[in-house]
């Protein structure tokens, strides 16, 4: 949900560095992406890319990436029988415990508790 809210606030021009960066992050949710590498990929400095993200989404590049990952995780928890460890791996977290802590921090409950609510 947070990723969708952030995405709704984004209105970049076609082919802008922000649009290309967002597209790359969406296509590579499970990959660790360094801000400097992403900035180089879209042809701007890391600080400029950070400023573009803050202006468009209210947060930085890594916050946006985390919101994308958590959104994908919610979808997997809602729509699959994957274990929490499998969901963690699918959204780019090698350590299921770290993923669970991040998920809990973002959503206020653990992945297992979230799944038990039956949101899907």
- Tell the CATH topology of 66-116: Arc Repressor Mutant, subunit A (1.10.10)
pLDDT tens across the length of the chain (120 residues) = 444 444 444 434 458 999 999 999 999 999 989 999 999 999 999 999 999 999 999 999 999 999 999 999 999 999 999 999 999 999 999 999 999 999 999 999 999 999 999 765
Task: Give me the residue spans of the domains in the chain.
Answer: 2-61, 66-116
Residue 15 CA neighbour count, 13 Å, CB half: 0
Single pTM value for the model: 0.81
Kindly list the distances between the CA atom of residue 66 and the CA atoms of 6, 28, 35, 43, 81, in Å, as whole numbers in the listed order: 11, 12, 13, 22, 22
């Amino acid at each position: 949900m947070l990723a969708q809210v952030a995405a709704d606030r984004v209105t970049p021009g076609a082919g802008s560095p922000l649009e290309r960066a967002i597209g790359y992050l969406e296509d590579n949710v499970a990959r660790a992406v360094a801000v400097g590498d992403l900035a180089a990929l879209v042809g701007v400095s890391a600080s400029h890319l950070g400023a573009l993200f803050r202006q468009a989404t209210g947060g930085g590049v890594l916050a946006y990436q985390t919101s994308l990952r958590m959104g994908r995780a919610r979808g997997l928890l809602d729509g699959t029988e994957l274990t929490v460890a499998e969901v963690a791996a699918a959204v780019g977290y090698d350590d299921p415990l770290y993923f669970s802590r991040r998920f809990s921090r973002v959503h206020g409950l653990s992945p297992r508790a979230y799944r038990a609510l039956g949101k899907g």
